[in-house]
């Protein structure tokens, strides 16, 4: 199901929402650079099956509405172009609008992938609306590693991810000793079963860890 959200600056955006309305806890799911596509909707449905109320804001709506792409080289190029036009501050407004839409939930977690993994870290550090954050292969986290999280954070990286070299992961570990940093024998995007880099073992392990992390902190 989709719904319309209104951010603090008046911008209206669409969001995919799933799960029981009367759930005690909620999760905001943050997209890759490919929009709120079928993979992101599948992620929402997975967490909804765990009893959460789940919402995925369309973060490209500020630039172009209805963006939903696959994983071709052309899609990657277009996704990068769109991402470059959305500032962290504007994305955070839309993320907080999604969290606010979960008004019936007592505690809210946030999980994101790729660009959304970086935005999950931004949300954990710059918003007070979240009680736990799980960041999956966010390439921009290293540049923001000295920010301070306001909630418990877990991170997932692939050691064969060329966009996030091992030295970046180690720099994050050094800057954030309280963050649970998990590394897998996998490439970027290992959690998406629509990508060539999908790794079912790493994906399942990271997903299990995320579920347990939310269970412990929400």
Measured in Å, how far apart are the chain's first and last C-alpha atoms?
A: 24
Query: 56 pairs with which residues across the strands?
Result: 16
Annotated catalytic residues are: 114, 161, 188
Q: Structure tokens of 42?
A: 């599948």
How far is residue 31 CA from its own chain's centroid? 6
Q: Specify whether the CB–CB gap between 105 and 73 falls below 8 A.
A: no
Q: Structure tokens of 147?
A: 């920010």
Contacts of 212 (CB under 8 A, 6+ apart): none
DSSP for 164-212 reads: S-HHHHHHHHHH-TTSEEEEES--TTTT-TTSTT--HHHHHHHHHHHHH
Q: List Cβ<8 Å contacts ≥24 apart for 43-50.
A: 43/111, 43/113, 44/16, 44/17, 44/18, 44/19, 45/18, 46/207, 47/18, 47/19, 47/111, 48/18, 48/19, 48/20, 50/211
């Amino acid at each position: 199901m989709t719904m319309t959200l209104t951010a603090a600056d008046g911008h209206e955006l669409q969001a995919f929402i799933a799960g029981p309305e009367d759930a005690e806890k909620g999760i905001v799911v943050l997209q890759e650079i490919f929009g709120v596509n079928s993979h992101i909707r599948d992620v929402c449905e997975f967490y909804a099956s765990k009893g959460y109320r789940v919402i995925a804001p369309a973060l490209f709506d500020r630039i172009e509405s209805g963006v939903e792409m696959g994983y071709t080289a052309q899609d990657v190029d277009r996704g990068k172009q769109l991402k470059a036009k959305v500032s962290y501050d504007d994305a955070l407004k839309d993320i907080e609008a999604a969290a606010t839409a979960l008004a019936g939930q007592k505690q809210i977690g946030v999980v994101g992938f790729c660009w959304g993994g970086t935005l999950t870290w931004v949300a954990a550090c710059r918003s007070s609306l979240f009680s736990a954050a799980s960041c999956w292969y966010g390439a921009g986290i290293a540049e923001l590693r000295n920010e301070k999280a306001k909630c418990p954070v877990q991170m997932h990286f692939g050691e064969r991810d060329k966009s996030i070299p091992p030295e970046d992961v180690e720099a994050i570990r050094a800057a954030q000793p309280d963050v649970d940093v998990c590394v897998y024998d996998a490439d970027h995007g290992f959690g998406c079963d629509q990508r060539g880099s999908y790794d079912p073992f790493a994906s399942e392990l990271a997903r299990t860890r995320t579920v347990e992390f939310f269970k412990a902190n929400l």
